Amino acid sequence: MRVQSVCAVIVTYHPSVAMLENLHKVLAEVQGLVVVDNGSSANELDLLRTASRDFGFHLIENGENLGIAEALNQGVRWAKNEKYPWVLLYDQDSRMLDGFVDAMFKVWLSHPKRDKIATIHPRYMRAGFGYTRLAPRAPDGSLLWCITSGSLMPTWIFDNIGWFASEFFIDWVDIEYCFRIRAAGYIMAESEAILVHDPGDPAPASVLGLRFWPSHHSAIRRYYMSRNRIVVFRKYLFSLPLFTLKLMYAALRDTAKCFLGEKQRPQKLRSFVVGTWDGLTGKMGMRQSF
C-alpha cells in the first residue's frame, strides 16, 4: 500500500440523502472509506447498506449512539487493521472541494519536520460566508486547535498518544486531542485545501446595537460543551497555560453569546450549570437525563 493511501472515516447519525449522494466525491479523493453509524433509524440504515454495496465502503452499525469520539475510534481502528497509514476524518455534513487530499499532502511533502506532523487541517468555509477561521492562532502562527472534520492524520499518532476521549461522548473531543498533540510535542499543520462546513446552526443576534453570531446549539449540546471544557481546562492549565487561557476566553465569549442571543435560555442555563458541576466532579460519559 502506498505511503499516501488514505482511508476516510465518516460518523453518521440520521444522515441526509444529500450526505449519501456526497459519498462518491469522498471516495474519489481517498483509497478507502469506513462509515460508522451511531444509531440511525431502520430506513436510514437501509440506505446506508445500499450505498455500502453500491460504492464499496465498509459500514459499521453501532445500533445506538455511542458518541462521536468512540465512533471515530472504531473507524480509525478499522483503518489501522486494514493497514492504511492515513485517515481522513470527515463530518457527514461537510463537503470537500476537488483536489482536497492532494492539497493536504502538499503541506506534508514540503514540511521540514514532516515526521512530527500529527494532523493536517484545511481552510474552512461556511456556505455563503467565505473563509472563516474557527480557532485562534498560537504565537508561532499555527492553529491553536481545530475541529475534527477535514483532519488528515497519520495512524501512528494514535499509537503514540492514544485514542479520542470516548468519555467526552461529544463536543470538545477535537480540542482535547489537539491539546494532547501539542503537549506531546507534535505539530498541527494547515493546508490550502478547502472544506465547506457549518459549525452549529449560526444565526445573527443583536444586543444594544452589537451584532454577533451565536451558534444556537441545543441544550443537551450545551451540557456536553460545559462539562468537557472544564475537564480540558483542568487537564492542561499547567502544562499549556497560555493556550488554556486563550481557550477559556473563547469559551467565555461563546457562553456570553449563547445567553445573550439564543432561545431556550433557561434550559441552556441548567445545562451549563449541570455540565460544569459534572466536569468538576468527574461525571463523564453519556448523560441520560437532567
Q: How confident is the model at residue 135 (pLDDT cuts 50, 70, 90)?
A: low
**Does residue 116 register a pLDDT over 80?**
yes
Assigned C-alpha cell, 261: 442571543
**Does residue 1 register a pLDDT over 60?**
no
Give residue-wise pLDDT tens across range 188-215.
999 989 888 766 566 667 676 677 667 7
Residue 19 contacts residue 33 (beta carbons within 8 Å): no
Q: How far apart are the C-alpha atoms of 47 and 233, rounded to whole Å?
A: 41
> 3-state SS of the chain: helix, strand, coil percent to 5?
45, 20, 35
Structural domain boundaries in the chain: 6-196, 205-281
Give residue-wise pLDDT tens across range 144-184.
888 899 999 999 999 999 999 999 999 999 999 999 999 99
**Does residue 77 register a pLDDT over 80?**
yes
Which pLDDT belongs to residue 134? 61
Q: How confident is the model at residue 124 (pLDDT cuts 50, 70, 90)?
A: confident
**Model's pTM, two decimal places?**
0.92
Which pLDDT belongs to residue 128? 60
Which CATH entry fits the domain spanning 6-196: 1.10.10.920, 3.90.550.10, 3.40.367.20, 3.30.1490.20? 3.90.550.10
Q: How many C-alpha atoms does 37 have within 13 Å on its Cβ side? A: 24
What are the angstrom distances between the C-alpha of 205 and each of 216, 218, 262? 11, 16, 8
Percent of the chain with pLDDT strictly greater than 90: 68
Which pLDDT belongs to residue 2? 45
Residue 246: its H or E element: helix 241-261
Q: What is the mean pLDDT of residues 98-123?
A: 94
Q: What is the mean pLDDT of residues 71-79?
A: 98
Closest listed residue to residue 145, CA positions, set 70, 247, 226: 247
**Does residue 90 register a pLDDT over 80?**
yes
Give residue-wise pLDDT tens across range 224-269.
999 999 999 999 999 999 999 999 998 998 898 888 888 898 999 9
Q: Are strands 152-154 and 130-132 parallel, antiparallel or unpaired?
A: unpaired
Q: What is the mean pLDDT of residues 111-135?
A: 81
Q: What is the mean pLDDT of residues 70-88?
A: 97
**Does residue 129 register a pLDDT over 80?**
no
Q: Is 238 exposed, middle or buried (0-12, 13-18, 19+ CB in 10 A)?
A: exposed
